[in-house]
Amino acid sequence: MSGIKSILVHLAPDQDHMARLRAGYNLCKRFNAHMSVLAINTHPHLPSGSEGRVASLSFLEQEREVAAEKNKAMESELDQWRQESEITYDWRQAEGDHLEALVEESLYHDLAIVSQSEPSSLEDMLFVGLPDHLPLLAACPVIVLPNRTAKLDMGKRIFIAWKPGQEAARAVRAALPFLDMAEHVKVFTVAKNNDDKARLDNVLCYLKRHGIEPEVEYSTNRSLDAHDQILDSANAMNADLLVMGGSSQRKMLRLVLGRDTRKILSRTHAPVLMCH
């Protein structure tokens, strides 16, 4: 029986809102889960409190009204989908900071769905509360969809980027409902020494106890960055879902994405299921 019964979908007036909605709908059908749509009527890449610096109040109000109208149309379309498959859902409106609202809602869900951000500067990438920073703070696992993705029916070919630690272990455990239904699973690790190889055996034993027999690949190549090796191996197997722990670091007293995590999220062509 699936452990995923409540899925949170982030909705906002950006170009990828329908992809998130369709991905959430598909997963709710697969797991017989309830979908909670959190619709926020401001652009997700606009830092909270910066409105006065970048746009007039009248312009922002106009943007919110347009977004609200789009939300109504999408809710109507979702209701038609629901009638086809009999999933249950609720639809809520919110204002303000996207990340704060999503973190609060993550307390009450088994899985959340957001999209890659496209920050315009390094400062945005590091410090702005973008939705794809949610894995660092969420109470539930998070799936980050690539921008303009066509892979909305994910989980047939799953790639696990294994690094011994709590983050990766949580991600693997959270992915079990997907792994149980997968056609092909691959576990990849960058092994620095024999101890890393032995710890890879431990996670393989864990998966086998759950009836999962993965393909295994480990690399001892130190000339390439870990994120490049992960992406190359995932692309080679045509993965439609990456499973990994989210690394983080402290910058100016704020928790931000680690380098490898940030690189993978910005370059992946497949959805990423992540825990921190």
Mean pLDDT for all residues in the chain: 82
What integer pLDDT is reported at residue 256 of this predicted model? 55
Sheet with 184-190, edge to edge strand ranges: 89-94, 34-40, 6-11, 111-115, 142-145, 272-275, 241-245, 157-161, 184-190, 215-219
Rounded to an integer, the average pLDDT of 18-34 is: 94
With cut-offs at 50, 70 and 90, classify the pLDDT of residue 104. Answer: very high
Quickly count: other Cβ atoms within 10 Å of residue 183's Cβ. 9
**How many CA atoms within 13 Å lie on the side-chain side of 44?**
27
Residues 239, 186: contact at Cβ < 8 Å?
yes
Residues 114, 9: contact at Cβ < 8 Å?
no
With cut-offs at 50, 70 and 90, classify the pLDDT of residue 123. Answer: very low
Say which range, 48-62, 126-140, 148-162, 174-188, has the weakest mean pLDDT.
Answer: 48-62
Spatial neighbors of 16 by CB under 8 A, at least 6 apart, are 115, 116, 145, 147, 148, 149
Q: Is residue 126 over pLDDT 50?
A: no
Q: Is residue 75 over pLDDT 60?
A: yes
What integer pLDDT is reported at residue 129 of this predicted model? 54
Q: Which two tokens stand for residue 259?
A: 């380098």
Q: Which range has the top average pLDDT, 5-19, 55-69, 112-126?
A: 5-19
User: Going from the N-terminus, what domains does the chain have, and what CATH number goes with each?
Assistant: 6-145 (3.40.50.620), 157-275 (3.40.50.620)
More confident call, 19 vs 126: 19
Say which range, 22-36, 89-103, 111-125, 132-146, has the weakest mean pLDDT.
Answer: 111-125
- The model's pTM is 0.85
Q: Is residue 250 over pLDDT 70?
A: no
For residue range 185-241, what is the model confidence (pLDDT) as tens digits? 999 998 777 777 777 889 999 999 999 999 999 888 877 888 899 999 999 999 999
Residues 132, 45: contact at Cβ < 8 Å?
no
With cut-offs at 50, 70 and 90, classify the pLDDT of residue 271. Answer: very high
Distance CA 140, CA 134 (A): 10
Distance CA 105, CA 76 (A): 23
What integer pLDDT is reported at residue 127 of this predicted model? 44
Q: Is residue 248 over pLDDT 60?
A: no
Q: Is residue 276 over pLDDT 70?
A: yes
Distance CA 49, CA 196 (A): 45
For 78, 82, 138, the CA distances from 25, given in Å and listed in that order, are 8, 8, 21
